[in-house]
Structure 1
Amino acid sequence: MAISGVSTRTLAQSLRTALVRSQNEMNNAQKEATTGRLADPGLKLGSLTSQTVTLNREMERLNNIIDTNALAGSRLSATQNSLKDLSTQAQTFLSTLIAGSSGDATPAVMLASAKSALSSMGSILNASFNGEQIFSGINTDVKPFKGFEAGSDAKTAFDTAFQSYFGFTQTDPGAANISKTDMEGFLASVEPDFLGAGWDANWSNATDATIQSRIALNETASTSVSANIDPVKKLAMAAALTADLYSGNVSEGAREAVNARARALVSEAVAGIANLQASVGVTENRITATSERLKMQADVMELHIQKLEGADPYEASTRVSTLMTQIETSYALTARIQQLSLAKYLS
């Protein structure tokens, strides 16, 4: 009978191979004990792996939409706060205009209120959230409201329109002779500079298009507000007319025409802003309800994935302990075998 020899090198090599295998198994067991998921789903599930891949992909899509919905909801919340401030400013200005029409507010008070309204509009409409302009439509990197300061496009256009219509400037002594009827005619002629094409050219950098967000797999919603809406245009027109013409030399009758037109514009603006606040609120509620529904769907998918890929962390921890013991034993045996030699045997 033939007897095959066994060298210490062969024994050491076999222990080393077993040690590498045990280390790999321990790494997988540690991963399963930590995550509660199979370290290699494909090895365990076989043909069922495609189901987990599909479920994980769909769950990731839902979670991404939930995250973007949170951002959209925060942007709408900031928009809602700004609209509230804009409404408050408009109502304050309207109160001053009404007081002025009855003689309870002086022209100086009305002038100051109009300038305050314009300044507040600039601050509110040029507000940003997360580094994006919330009233710029899709042009979120540019401040939307240009203002009505001296030298601005809007002020220059208005001055040009006034001189073209009357033949002199607002500060010219001849402005004192403008009748109420003449001023009403001018206000009608200059209206397109505020409510028409002049708004985009001189007042606003915003786009009419607003941000459209996918709030569900098959549902989108407008999640921003543009400064190019009628309530903003009307409030700006009323404030600009009052701020400019109450500081010039126009007659009392002309100022009455300005006051009447401004009151009508601001009243419409207040109502329009209120309707817009309601619309934004509806969108906020839609996003909240949709996110809750998506979260429930994602939770159901998570349960299915856990059922397929789930691993018992306690059992995995036990395997880690067992494998650790085996590895330590292998290290000890390998060290002893490496110490064996013919010289030591013969001695």
Structure 2
Amino acid sequence: MTLFNSRVSSYQMNYFMRANVNSATVKLQEATKELGTGRHANLFKELGPRSASALQMRVTETTTQSFVTANNVLASKLETTLAATNSIRETVSSVLELSLLNLTRPNTGAEALQAEARAAIESVVGSLNQSFNGDMIFAGIASRYAPMTRWEDVNPDTGFSPEGVINSIVGAGPPDAATAGTMIADIQAVFDSSYAANPNMNYEATFYGGTPLLDGGGNPNARVTARLDSDQELDYGVQANDPAFREALRGLAMLASVDVSQVSDEATYQAWMQEAVDSLAAASEGILKITTDVGFQQEVVETATQRLEDVSIIQRLQVARLENVDAYEVSAQIASLEAQLQASYSVTARLGQLSILNYMR
């Protein structure tokens, strides 16, 4: 008959107990960490093949949040653009109102028109040189440098100042209606950037230094764009060489270069004032269209951002279902492990007191 010795030494028992305590301690530490973070301590072990889905969802959510952040920045930029264009329109409208009062003949305020127009030019140019986060809003793609040259400043690339360009055409002012018409045509050509007498005097040479409206082949240059999400892009660039701003500065330049209160010939006066008023009126209407477009773009950005935030909620819930732990379940596990450790410590302590000497007493 074979007998099996099932007795276990106290050393073996202590070894087993220590191993059990170590295992329970590690599990308790992991459970405590899970309770604190709300996530599985070992995500890949817990999810297995599903961990790839969790990682992909996190990448998608990170991309979504990057679009939300970019859209919020774009919304602020559009708000700055809208404020600048509204400021320009108010400035133009103020000069236009005074000009209309003096349209057919000099009336009250005619002597102040030149100074008002000069101050308005400074205000408009300052608004067109508005920047946001280091980018010049109205410069187009070439947004590192201010797009507009100040009225009296000399453009280093052409050697002319905007004021000098207009004064070279107007001189002491139009002496008669025929000469006024010639001057008006030359000024129109300057602001259309088609002044053949000296191309360096054109708007897109001396006045404006941002992205030209047309490239070398006569095709429209690309505008500033933003990607609102992976499937939607928005063209939102407003440039200081857009027709509305050119018209605003053309009308103001005509009034700033001539003291109309000193023009004695009625036909000459009316021809000059009518052209300036028409230019300012067209500018006011054009700038209103720009502000409307910017407002629509703001709505598009807001809608896209809201859609992304709704998608983000769903994505975060999906990630949470995979990665998060049940707090009640983890709390119960911690309580069980603590009870297990307390029992193990108690048994270990009693085993430590066992010895042959204690038995022989």
TM bucket by the smaller chain? 0.7 to 0.9
Deviates more, 1:280-289 or 1:43-52: 43-52
Task: Tell whether the 8 Å contact from 2:78 to 2:298 is kept in structure 1 after alignment.
Answer: yes
Kindly report which structure 2 residues correspond to 1:98-177, keeping only aligned pairs within 5 A, or say none: 98-102=100-104, 103-149=106-152, 151=154, 156=161, 159=164, 163=168, 170=171, 175=172
Q: 2:65, 2:46 → 1: CA distance?
A: 27
Q: 1:335, 1:142 → 2: CA distance?
A: 79
Q: Deviation digits for residues 188-239 of structure 1, max 9, x if unmatched?
A: 1232322226222111232254431111221100244222211111111111
Q: 1:128, 1:339 → 2: CA distance?
A: 81
Task: Tell whether the 8 Å contact from 1:78 to 1:129 is kept in structure 2 after alignment.
Answer: yes
Give, as a single letter, the amino acid of the residue that structure 2 aligns with 1:218. D
Q: Who is 1:60 aligned against? A: 62
Q: 1:331, 1:141 → 2: CA distance?
A: 71
Deviation of 1:87 after TM superposition, in Å, equals 1.1
Q: 1:299 aligns with which of 313, 316, 320?
A: 313
Alpha carbons of structure 1 residues 300 and 256: separation in structure 2 relative to 1, 3 Å:
same
Alpha carbons of structure 1 residues 117 and 41: separation in structure 2 relative to 1, 3 Å:
same
Q: 2:178 aligns with which of 171, 178, 181?
A: 181
Deviates more, 1:310-319 or 1:325-334: 325-334
Task: Tell whether the 8 Å contact from 1:179 to 1:251 is kept in structure 2 after alignment.
Answer: no
Say how many residue pairs are matched: 337
Q: Who is 1:216 aligned against? A: 229
Cα RMSD (Å) of the superposition? Answer: 3.6
Give, as a single letter, the amino acid of the residue that structure 2 aligns with 1:265. S
Q: 1:261 aligns with which of 260, 275, 282?
A: 275
Deviates more, 1:261-270 or 1:138-147: 138-147
Q: Who is 2:256 aligned against? A: 243
Q: Who is 2:207 aligned against? A: 203
1:220 match: secondary structure: strand
Q: TM-score, normalised by structure 1?
A: 0.81
Q: 2:299 aligns with which of 285, 291, 298?
A: 285
Identity %, equivalent residues: 21
Deviation of 1:259 after TM superposition, in Å, equals 1.9
Q: 1:24, 1:303 → 2: CA distance?
A: 29
Q: TM-score, normalised by structure 2?
A: 0.78
Give, as a single letter, the amino acid of the residue that structure 1 aligns with 2:140. G
Q: 1:44, 1:12 → 2: CA distance?
A: 29
Give, as a single letter, the amino acid of the residue that structure 2 aligns with 1:283. Q
Alpha carbons of structure 1 residues 45 and 160: separation in structure 2 relative to 1, 3 Å:
closer
Q: Who is 2:77 aligned against? A: 75
Higher helix share: 1
The unaligned stretches of length 5 or more in structure 1 are none
Deviation of 1:344 after TM superposition, in Å, equals 12
Deviates more, 1:131-140 or 1:278-287: 131-140
Give, as a single letter, the amino acid of the residue that structure 2 aligns with 1:144. P
